[in-house]
Amino acid sequence: MAEEEYPSISVLFDRYLKLYENVEKSDLPSQSDKLQEQIKEGIEGLVKTTVLVSELGVFSSNETLEEIPTSAIKFLLLPVLLGSLSLKRTDVERLHVLQLANVYFRDFVKRCKQYEFIDTELPSTEDDEDSSDEAEAEKKSLPKASTKQGMPSPEELQAMARQREEKIRRFKKKKDLGNQLMDLKKALDKPSHDEDILRNYYITLVRKFAYESVDELESVAMERKMLSKMKDLKMKGVLSSPEQVSELRPLKPILITKDALQKNVFGLGYPSLPTMTVEEFYDKRVKEGWFPEPRRDKNCLQDRAASDPQAEKEAQECEEEEREKEEEQDDPQKLARDREWDEWRDTHRRGWGNTYNRS
């Protein structure tokens, strides 16, 4: 189960996944201070969880989906949750928010394709930093612009038809996956569910988010293109510029990584910008006061890994001795609690509250 292999990280992830769901269901306006505080809290918590997942090296590029433990599958959702929450921020320049979300969504879709969750191609953009052969092939396969204004060429019409068919296929996939999630959720509510049901639930959840992320990438690309055009028109003086707003510190995406070769995800995801490893980032946050020092926090991963089993056994023995002393000394508070518990059990027979599946 999830709590057995990664107990603290699993609890942390579940907490901020619940916060994300509350933000999605919220009826508050997007610029509400309360909603924006929840969004920032969710982003900070998911960033912290991403750092811990990277430190543990949960994922490897040379493993398959069958090799990923059930307790780790849900951590694949970290980038898409960060991307979705980032899109809802209103205190940062919109063009920068879109650029940040693009990095998160693309990273998530790439991982899903790597583990064969989906078979959909990753949308390519003109300024995409990924210069792989697959991206180049996609760009070459796009139809050339028609020489006649307002009259699309046959190649463009075929490309439009393919895009429409792909969108319809993704829509049907998302609808089918949503129905499967509802059935799996009902099965998880039963106390007799096994690990296979939990694993299928996480896999279905990741697949549904993956198809939604492809749609989000297309929407982000269209909005970025529109805002870039508006920015060029403002620079040329065609459009009036709004009042100058105070410049805020730009955000940086934090993606799941495990070594220094992958540290280019820091700095907006471009290798040419300043970079740092997970360890460098964590040390920097400790100095700035964002994260606690590992040695001072008894609940951190390093101390739990280095904890002495003998010391834990001695601590348990001390607790048992204290309980025995309380019983021997007839502690009045403990006696009062025991009496209340006995009286409650006299008037509440075992099983009376369990009316599940009873007519």
Q: Which of 86-90, 169-173, 263-267 has the highest mean pLDDT?
A: 86-90
30 in a structural domain: yes
Q: Which of 54-68, 75-89, 335-349 has the highest mean pLDDT?
A: 75-89
Q: Where does the pLDDT of residue 133 fall: very low under 50, low under 70, confident under 90, or very high at 90 and above?
A: very low
Given a cut of 80, whether residue 66 has pLDDT beyond it is yes
Q: Are residues 312 and 254 in the same domain?
A: no
**Quick check: 65 and 115 in contact, CB under 8 A?**
yes
Cα 259 to Cα 247: distance, rounded to the nearest angstrom? 33
Given a cut of 80, whether residue 200 has pLDDT beyond it is yes
Q: Are residues 120 and 222 in the same domain?
A: yes
CATH classification at residue 66: 1.25.40.540
251 in a structural domain: yes
187 in a structural domain: no
Write down the pLDDT at residue 80: 93
Cα 269 to Cα 107: distance, rounded to the nearest angstrom? 10
Assigned token pair, 210: 């993956």
34 in a structural domain: yes
Residue 62's domain comprises 2-132+207-275
282 in a structural domain: no
Q: Are residues 120 and 225 in the same domain?
A: yes
Q: Are residues 323 and 250 in the same domain?
A: no
250 in a structural domain: yes
In the chain, the N- to C-terminal Cα span, in Å, equals: 33
Kindly state the average pLDDT of the residues 169-183: 88
Residue of 131, 112, 108 lying closest to 120 (CA atoms)? 112
User: HSE-up of 354 (CA within 13 Å, CB side)?
Assistant: 4
- Helical segments of 115-260, H only: 133-141, 154-189, 195-236
pLDDT in tens, 208-231: 999 999 999 988 988 888 888 887
Given a cut of 50, whether residue 93 has pLDDT beyond it is yes
Helix, strand, coil: what percent of the chain each, to 5?
65, 0, 35
The larger pLDDT score, comparing residue 244 to residue 55, is at 55
**Quick check: 253 and 100 in contact, CB under 8 A?**
yes
**Quick check: 301 and 55 in contact, CB under 8 A?**
yes
Q: How many domains does the chain have?
A: 2
Q: Are residues 246 and 339 in the same domain?
A: no
Instruction: Find the range with the poorest average confidence among 63-67, 149-153, 307-311, 341-345.
Output: 307-311
Q: Are residues 232 and 116 in the same domain?
A: yes
Q: Give how far Cα 324 sits from Cα of 216, 321, 333, Å.
A: 60, 5, 14
Assigned token pair, 31: 């610029």
Q: Are residues 86 and 218 in the same domain?
A: yes
Q: What is the DSSP string of 265-315?
A: GSSTT-TTS----HHHHHHHHHHHTSS--TTT-TTSHHHHHH--HHHHHHH
Determine the residue type at 164. R
Assigned token pair, 151: 């009259």
Given a cut of 90, whether residue 78 has pLDDT beyond it is yes
Kindly state the average pLDDT of the residues 93-118: 90
Q: Are residues 334 and 268 in the same domain?
A: no
Q: Are residues 30 and 127 in the same domain?
A: yes
Q: Are residues 218 and 334 in the same domain?
A: no
Kindly report the average pLDDT of the chain as a whole number.
77
Looking up tokens 């607790």 gives 319
Last-in-domain residue among 275, 300, 323 = 275
Write down the pLDDT at residue 8: 83
328 in a structural domain: yes
Cα 336 to Cα 327: distance, rounded to the nearest angstrom? 12
Q: Are residues 29 and 115 in the same domain?
A: yes
User: What is the distance of C-alpha 234 from the center of its chain?
Assistant: 36
217 in a structural domain: yes
Residue of 225, 291, 265, 292 lying closest to 82 (CA atoms)? 265
